[in-house]
Amino acid sequence: GENVEQHPSTLSVQEGDSAVIKCTYSDSASNYFPWYKQELGKGPQLIIDIRSNVGEKKDQRIAVTLNKTAKHFSLHITETQPEDSAVYFCAASISNNDMRFGAGTRLTVKP
C-alpha cells in the first residue's frame, strides 16, 4: 500500500517568515494530494489540495508543489502568522480511495 513520509516533524519560525513542509509518497498511481491542518482537540481540516495533472497550486499565502517524477510534494506558507500554528498533515490517495496520511509536522509561529 501507499507509504507517505513527512518532514520535518517540528518546525519553528518567526512571524512573517516562510515555512516549508515536504512529503514523499511511494505509489506512483497516487493522483490526489491534500494538506490538512489540525488544531488542538479538533479534527483535521483541508487547507489545500493538488491533483497529479497539476504541478503547482496557490491559495493566498499557501501553495503546494508536486513533482510526480520524484514522487514528492511540498507545502509552502508565506508571511506566517501566529494563527498558522498547528499540526499539518500531508496525504496521498488514488482517486480519493485509501487516503494515507503522513506523520504530521507541528508548526510553531513565534510572534
Partner 1 sequence: EAGVAQSPRYKIIEKRQSVAFWCNPISGHATLYWYQQILGQGPKLLIQFQNNGVVDDSQLPKDRFSAERLKGVDSTLKIQPAKLEDSAVYLCASSLRDRVSGELFFGEGSRLTVL
Question: Can you give the binding site for partner 1, defined by CB under 8 A?
Answer: 1, 4, 6, 32, 34, 36, 41-46, 49, 89, 91, 93, 96-104
| Identity of the residue, 18 or 26, whose beta carbon is nearer to partner 1 in the bound complex | 26
| Identity of the residue, 73 or 89, whose beta carbon is nearer to partner 1 in the bound complex | 89
As measured in angstroms, the least distance from the Cβ of 49 to partner 1 is 7
Question: Who's near 69: CB < 8 A, 6+ residues apart?
Answer: none
| Identity of the residue, 4 or 19, whose beta carbon is nearer to partner 1 in the bound complex | 4
Q: Return the C-alpha cell found at 111.
A: 510572534
As measured in angstroms, the least distance from the Cβ of 2 to partner 1 is 10
Q: Please give the Cα distance from 3 to 16 (Å, whole number).
A: 33
Question: Who's near 91: CB < 8 A, 6+ residues apart?
Answer: 4, 33, 34, 35, 36, 99, 100, 101, 102
As measured in angstroms, the least distance from the Cβ of 78 to partner 1 is 23
As measured in angstroms, the least distance from the Cβ of 51 to partner 1 is 8
